[in-house]
Amino acid sequence: MTRAIYNPRLWRSIISIAVTAAIVCISLPAASSEPATRRGSDGASSKPAATAPAGPLKNLKIDLKGKRVIIDAKVTPRKGKPEQPPMMLEFLMCKTGVKEHETLLTTDVPPSSLHAALLVLGLAPGRPAQWITPAGKKPVFVSPAGAALNISVQWTDKSGKVRQVPVTDWMIEIASKKKLPKTRWIFVGSDFLDDGRYWADLEGLHISVTNFAAAVIDVPFQSTSKDAFREFAVNMSVIPPRGTPVKLIIQAVKGAQNAPAARITFNVDATGRIKLDGKAIAPENISRAVRHFLSRHADASADVRIDPQALVYDRERLREILKQSGLTRITFSTRELRAEILPRTPADAEKAIKWWKGQFAREDNLIIDPAEDAAASLEHIKRRIKQAEALSELWADYAAGLKKALDEYKAQQKKKESD
């Protein structure tokens, strides 16, 4: 018996946050004309900023026209003495209070809001870094792939001038001790855990420089978080003082909306209902949605999460639909069982009640009051009853519609015979 009840987090819940800001078309103050200041990759100049939305997005803005996301952040590293080694980096940006000894920037914006904002720009999450082992061969590293991004940082210097540079100017390669070449980043998209939480929110990771699969954005090449092989450090000679407010500008590269590598997620619940990226979808509509996705992303893949209490039929039906739609890169996984399997027979029910009575009888010897577990199980039972009632109503309507169609058919046949 288990007290944890599965409660799926919908993509819609984070998309709804970003949609609030989707109507906000903003940009940043024009940067200084000094050599250290650079325009965006498209050469576009800045426009006046609109009022920032209130609430959870007050530190995040979406520039739909410029295909940019702008996040308010602060410089984390503290400048030390010249003889001190530079601070090693595992992350470009994390949540405030997370990994501050190995990240360049921190922000109060949740990683899920960054993910949602990138979705609003029309981008799809890609594939995180992974190791694959071909048959009979050694493991091979596969770099992250997906929508490409340019990332720059803007701040006001001591003289009051607005400066803007690629964020890689604030990083150095350990081996060469030279400034990191300008690079593009990849929207990999993190993931949802079995308990419904967004992985990046749980870890507080926005942008990684060491191939962390939990991060929303990663570098497009092999990196590592092992101390002996860290490749990047802070460029202490150019960063402003710790705590300096900055704006991190994340801009979609032209064509990023149609990046070949992209990922969609299907969830199949205990009753066989299917969700595509958190939104309910009827089986007959899946093929069209997948073909549309493939028309934009030639190297698309799908993650399919199956509730352990779903039927094998539900899994195989979805597998067949996806294959017939032309989607070949499919990963199936069964979610961790998060709730009690309810009795299937009177004997099962009798056995379960006996077990509960035994728990109540030895309550003094248990760390957790069995009443808490029992209350959680009762809530689970209520949810399953509601699911069963919904299915019963659906089937009753289906039966009524089928009976009506059959009666009409019989009436037509009888009329033909009489004629």
Q: pLDDT tens digits for 351-388?
A: 999 988 988 988 887 777 888 888 988 998 998 899 88
Cβ atoms 89, 230 nearer than 8 A: yes
CA distance 411 to 87: 83
Judgement on whether residues 224 and 266 belong to the same structural domain of the protein? no
5 occurs within a structural domain = no
Across residues 216-229, what is the average pLDDT? 63
| Beta-carbon count within 10 A of 328 CB | 11
154 occurs within a structural domain = yes
Across residues 163-167, what is the average pLDDT? 94
Number of domains in the chain: 3
Nearest in space to 183 (alpha carbons), one of 199, 162, 203, 169: 169
Residue with tokens 């519609």: 401
Judgement on whether residues 310 and 216 belong to the same structural domain of the protein? no
Judgement on whether residues 270 and 173 belong to the same structural domain of the protein? no
Which domain CATH number covers 330? 3.30.420.270
Across residues 225-233, what is the average pLDDT? 57
36 occurs within a structural domain = yes
Across residues 61-76, what is the average pLDDT? 94
Distance, C-alpha 246 to centroid of its chain: 25
Question: In which domain, by residue range, is 392 found?
Answer: 346-418
402 occurs within a structural domain = yes
How would DSSP label each residue in 319-332? HHHHHHTT--EEEE
Judgement on whether residues 273 and 196 belong to the same structural domain of the protein? no
77 occurs within a structural domain = yes
Q: Provide the pLDDT confidence category of residue 84 given band limits of 50, 70 and 90.
A: low
Across residues 291-309, what is the average pLDDT? 92
Judgement on whether residues 93 and 178 belong to the same structural domain of the protein? yes
CA distance 121 to 116: 9
Taking the CA of residue 103 as centre, how many other CA atoms within 13 Å lie in the half-sphere pointing to its CB? 25
CA distance 55 to 286: 35
Judgement on whether residues 206 and 277 belong to the same structural domain of the protein? no
Q: Provide the pLDDT confidence category of residue 34 given band limits of 50, 70 and 90.
A: very low
Q: Provide the pLDDT confidence category of residue 173 given band limits of 50, 70 and 90.
A: confident
- Name the domain boundary from 292, 307, 334: 334
Q: Please report the pLDDT score of residue 285 as a whole number.
A: 96
341 occurs within a structural domain = no
Average pLDDT, the chain: 80
The Cα-based distances of 391 to 126, 321, 331, 340, 385 in angstroms read: 35, 23, 28, 20, 10
225 occurs within a structural domain = yes
Judgement on whether residues 133 and 265 belong to the same structural domain of the protein? no
141 occurs within a structural domain = yes
Q: pLDDT tens digits for 123-142?
A: 999 988 777 766 777 777 77
Q: Please report the pLDDT score of residue 88 as a whole number.
A: 83
Q: Provide the pLDDT confidence category of residue 222 given band limits of 50, 70 and 90.
A: low
CA distance 370 to 349: 18
Token pair of 150, please?
Answer: 């340019």
Judgement on whether residues 192 and 293 belong to the same structural domain of the protein? no
- Name the domain boundary from 300, 334, 368: 334
Q: Are strands 147-156 and 185-187 parallel, antiparallel or unpaired?
A: antiparallel
Q: pLDDT tens digits for 235-264?
A: 888 899 999 999 999 999 999 999 999 999
- Name the domain boundary from 285, 310, 334: 334
Judgement on whether residues 114 and 242 belong to the same structural domain of the protein? yes
State the virtual CA torsion across 373, 379, 385, 390 in degrees, nearest 10: -140
161 has a pLDDT exceeding 90: yes
Judgement on whether residues 38 and 156 belong to the same structural domain of the protein? yes
Count helices and strands (H / E) in the chain.
7, 19
Q: Please report the pLDDT score of residue 372 as a whole number.
A: 86
Judgement on whether residues 284 and 387 belong to the same structural domain of the protein? no
Judgement on whether residues 265 and 251 belong to the same structural domain of the protein? no
